[in-house]
Chains A and B, each alone.
Chain A
């Protein structure tokens, strides 16, 4: 099927705001606003359901993890062993730090109650009495909003002892991290939450069996949990009917970079960048799209050849990348891809936790080689050296951080090899960094 045919057959794309539906309400973050918009009806419904039925509903909805990996959420919940009378935990990954990813932070700032209600329903479903929200430490106002949201929910009887007379005791602790990208990796997050250096754990055992304090633990992304109330209220069929058969539902698509109207666009999975760009007014005046990330810097780059790739898990994988967190960082023709990739690589080298050798040493050497190339030094063999180092990191590092570090490099060499070589023939970077800035042409 050609792209033209596919485009012709597609119905016109629209947005489907659910989580972002009332972000423009005055004081959108309060419990009163949330309840006025139907909030906490889902909790009442869920408490009237058998916990197993809640798990089944989430399974049937087709909801897949919104934190990047896309693992089916309900299935993850069902991995918990049978209750043994001892504690089990829900841990929410709010350590949003993947470069380009900027959806959970605005969600928690504008409407934190979606996450709180979702967390309470999930605790009911998995038999947990305690949930922890692990928020990155670098967003103090979001932390304030979450603390206030928990306090409001507790005062209203949604949290604490005997939630809404159900006999269930459920509480939430909001915990602040302290600046470490690696803590977005779920087992590093658990170590950090236990008061240790945030380094990933050997798996198995998986968190479902031995997670926080070595007890059965579900770790889910903010947006995954925030989507649960809508599934309970509207039904699994409703959710499954959105998106594509294998990538069900809606999600926040975060457009950033050289786009006229960057921002959050909540749409069914399977929408394309071309459709989103049309909504966002296109690439900035006088320029063209050069490269973009479908789901953050750890997902291989796409180019203008991928404008019509449906942004769902399967289609992005088939096109050689990953859906990730729908973090659509768009760069136009003024941007040097070598500079961009060097900076991401410096990030991975900085954030490598040091636990495993391929990632710790490999990211260091990647930076050295890329710096040389960006400065127009070295020679063509350095490109092979880069790919060789990547080959020794991908699949050989302890966690996905190392894998992610190779994505921008291998994909940029694949699509922009000539641009790397131009740095060598011209003896330096051929691009003017000023031309890429937001304030290019204005006096800064």
Chain B
């Protein structure tokens, strides 16, 4: 499969739109890889060459990026990626059983596609829905609280050409190519579909309403919405340790002399003997 001249022209115009979002062109590369994937269902050599040409990079540089990220496919993907979370919590809650059941049911393994080209099965890592474990993602839409039988039903529907409905997401799951286009930053107008929050997300909200629990009302003494500063001063004294920048480091203090974490502060703020890594150890999930 090669990109037709018509496709190259269209993708070039769309890629130009993507590039225009960023102060530097190369930032467009990840969305552009989603874009070429939306055309062919994977990142093909043609797709790599297109990105390279538009960003003035070598194909090797683009391939190096494309192979780093798991969402970019190196061979044609099925119309629907069915990802089973088998990270620890989902695995324990039933993800392992679901994955095995789907392998058995579909006759394929991880990163393989059914012969009809409908379903690509994947083990996926934690997808930030642990309160709905075990979780299935179909083309990156949430299917919460799954069982082996509910998961088999989903893939059967897909293979029968019926629409499948996520628990939290659009009204129906779009195809892999359509979703790739959205991830390239092209709004498909479906943001208003689906729920705002699922039942687990709402547990605290609803419990608080039931019990009459609310965040405290602010004191408004000087009328401008900012409360008086007496107790703030007290609090900030109590916080002296943390506002000196030496809050609990993410690594034991004794290990803070590793590469990249010694100096800790921008030049103006640097202090001799400061063992705080500053912004350096932030590792967000």
Contacts and interface: CB of A to CB of B under 8 A. Distances in A.
A144 B169 CA distance: 10
B145 interface: yes
11 contacts: A95-B284, A101-B126, A105-B128, A141-B141, A184-B285, A196-B65, A201-B260, A240-B232, A240-B236, A313-B247, A403-B250
Leading 10 A-B pairs by shortest Cβ distance: A98-B285, A395-B255, A263-B203, A67-B284, A195-B29, A400-B283, A178-B69, A148-B191, A28-B196, A256-B130
B204 A202 contact: no
A68 B280 contact: no
A270 interface: no
Interface stretch (A1-9, A155-163, A368-376, A434-442): A434-442
Nearest to A18: B215
Interface stretch (B19-27, B113-121, B155-163): B19-27
A130 B34 contact: no
A317 interface: yes
B183 A176 contact: yes
A353 B184 CA distance: 23
A72 B219 CA distance: 24
A51 B72 CA distance: 41
Interface string A231-245: 011111110111001
Interface string A131-174: 00000111111011101100100000000000000000000011
Interface of B: 21-24, 26-31, 33-34, 55, 64-65, 68-72, 83, 86-89, 91-94, 96-97, 101, 124-134, 137, 139-142, 145, 147-149, 166, 168-170, 174, 179, 182-185, 187-188, 190-192, 194, 196-209, 211, 213-216, 218-219, 225-229, 231-232, 235-236, 238-239, 241-243, 245, 247-248, 250-252, 254-261, 263-269, 277-285
A322 B239 contact: no
Contacts of A362: none
B266 A256 contact: no
Contact of A263 (B55, B174, B204, B242): B204
B50 to A, nearest CB: 15
A266 B27 contact: no
Contacts of A261: 200, 203
Interface residues of A, number: 162
A97 B248 contact: no
Which of B27, B128, B184, B258 gathers most chain A CB within 10 Å?
B128
Contacts of B174: 140
Given A176-B34, A208-B279, A401-B283, A130 B127 contact: no
B71 A179 contact: yes
A436 B93 contact: yes
Contacts of B166: 141
Contacts of A324: 285
A347 B282 CA distance: 19
A415 B211 CA distance: 37
Nearest to B231: A237
Given A266-B204, A313-B248, A102 B131 contact: yes
A24 interface: yes
A144 B197 contact: no
Contact of B192 (A27, A72, A394): A27
A204 B268 CA distance: 13
Contacts of B27: 175, 193-195
B240 to A, nearest CB: 9
Contacts of B243: 59, 62, 72, 75
Which of B145, B194, B211, B278 gathers most chain A CB within 10 Å?
B278
Contacts of B91: 343
Which of B22, B86, B282 gathers most chain A CB within 10 Å?
B282
Contact of A139 (B92, B101, B128): B128
Interface in A297-348: 297-298, 313-314, 317, 322, 324-325, 327, 329, 331, 335, 339-340, 343-344, 347
Contacts of B132: 262
A395 B215 contact: no
Contacts of A256: 89, 130-131, 133
Nearest to A16: B215
Given A23-B197, A24-B206, A192-B30, 4 more contacts: A29-B196, A141-B142, A175-B31, A195-B28
Given A93-B284, A280-B203, A202 B259 contact: yes
Contacts of B129: 102, 105
A139 B140 contact: yes
B98 to A, nearest CB: 9
Nearest to B28: A195
Contacts of A263: 131, 199-204
B86 A343 contact: yes
A186 B279 contact: yes
Interface stretch (A117-125, A246-254, A379-387, A420-428): A246-254
B215 A21 contact: yes
A269 B148 CA distance: 38
Contacts of B28: 195
B239 A62 contact: yes
